[in-house]
Structure 1
Amino acid sequence: MKRIFMILCSLISLAKAQDVINLYVDSIPNSTDKAQVNLEKNVPRLFAYPADKSSAKNIAVLVIPGGGYSHIAMDHEGHAVAKELVKNGYSAFVLQYRLPSPNIMRNKSIGPLQDAQRAVQLIRTLHPELRKVGVVGFSAGGHLASTLITQFKKDYIANSTHVSLRADFAGLIYPVISMNNDITHRGSRINLIGENPSEDLVRSFSSELQVSPEVCPVFFVHAKDDMAVPIENSYRMIAALDKAKVPNKLYVFEQGGHGFGLINKTSDKLWFDAFLSWLATLD
């Protein structure tokens, strides 16, 4: 209970990131002519939280908040998570990605993935000392993280120096995984790939269908009573990972619903502690 109290205190007093990094210096890829006007509140950028040098593990985590691809839950699924990672010796980078929209993107389905790939590229370029770069994504941010870890072989951004876009590990927290109508989060699906997407588009963004043996190890968190994003999303991704013999672990809550961030108030157990223990087994 003391550990939960400490995290709750952190949530109440969120500190500002020490550095803000724009993802793109000049032009933003896949932009429409009117993009700059419409990007004012959704500039793609990273909020950097460097680990203290005395405790740094030389491992960075890209944190991707959710929001159904309609908004971004930057605080409880972003900055609060970054602060906890830093306390444990990890550097963290919170991603503010472009929300998919035909007003700012020529192809809205790939816009968020471009920003996630650019984030990994930028982190590795700016910090060559890092041993590993992982990703943690929540809800629709979990979907974005799942596309990042399954589609790393294709560069959706300019990458002339061939920086590796493959994450070394991933945490998918109550993630949207599939675009299949039976289990998807409808709002995320519509916002990302439209009202009537083609079968190819549905398949391309259903991450359980994109798994290969090269995918990084994955840690899942999901509540059985999640009505917004059914736990079947995690189950199907796990089945695909198992088939490809990719290491994975599922942390299940009986209750908690959706969107609880670091603290599931129905339980006195912390998934984040289990996640840190799992990360330690990967070293």
Structure 2
Amino acid sequence: MELDQARYFLATCEHLNFTRAAEACNISQPSLTVAIKKLEDEFGGPLFHRDGKRILLTELGQRLRPYLSQMAEQAETIRQAASDFRLLRQVPLRIGIMTTIGPMRLSGLLARYQQDHPGVELGVHEGSLSELQTQLDAGDLDLAVLHAPGGHSPVTRALPLYRERYVVIVSPGHPFERQNTVRLEDTDQNAYVDRLACEMRETVMTACGQNKIELYATFRSEREDWVQGMVMAGLGFAFMPEYSVTHAGILRRPLIEPSVEREVCLVNMAGRQLSPAAAAFSRAAQRYRWGAE
């Protein structure tokens, strides 16, 4: 049985006239009657009593009508869902963002995308690098915004978005406030707020060890808001990506000698076709003017 045959049957039930049913289905009357005959052959009995130009449903036709009606409704629901998916209407887009990546640069892109595609239901999920990679692989995320210090997996495709410097953040009144930049050696023996969740932490700690720089950790936390709050409370300085600083009043000074930076990328699974919503987001990210925030 074909869906069109069910549609022709239901139209005939409604009009009880082959000619009007054919007109409603935009086909010829012979084509409609042939389709009805095929259904009758398949179901093993007549669906309509034919009395000249007047037709009535048989008992078999009456029994089958609600099932064929339900099937037609489900088919229309499926067609509508496919159309919505293709035309970006009421479709979800799941984007993972690494917890160490702040909102300052991404918020503009997300807002622009939502304005251009109001039918997309945009969901942002935070996670560590390993969590996002696992969720991408499992299909729980469409895209992920992340930095991979050791390089990206060969089964993923990475689109570079922007580069981000690491800065030293301090509260007003800290000795570093008087400096335009902070050398790594300037931090020696200074009170320090340790960002435990940072994927670049080991890089910075290795540089400190190589340069025989000792840091006195007064506070440790995996939460960005707590780190910034403790810096503002005067517990010491912290290393932080420049676009992750959100606390009002906090001071930033570029870290130099050596400078440290990271590349933030939009990542998806290389062997999978992007959904229309994800493909539109990838194009928007490529067109976005990252230096114009």
Question: TM-score, normalised on structure 1?
Answer: 0.27
Higher helix share goes to which structure?
Answer: 2
The structure with the largest strand share of the pair is 2
Larger Rg: 2
Answer 1 or 2: higher relative contact order, Cα 8 Å, separation at least 6.
Answer: 2
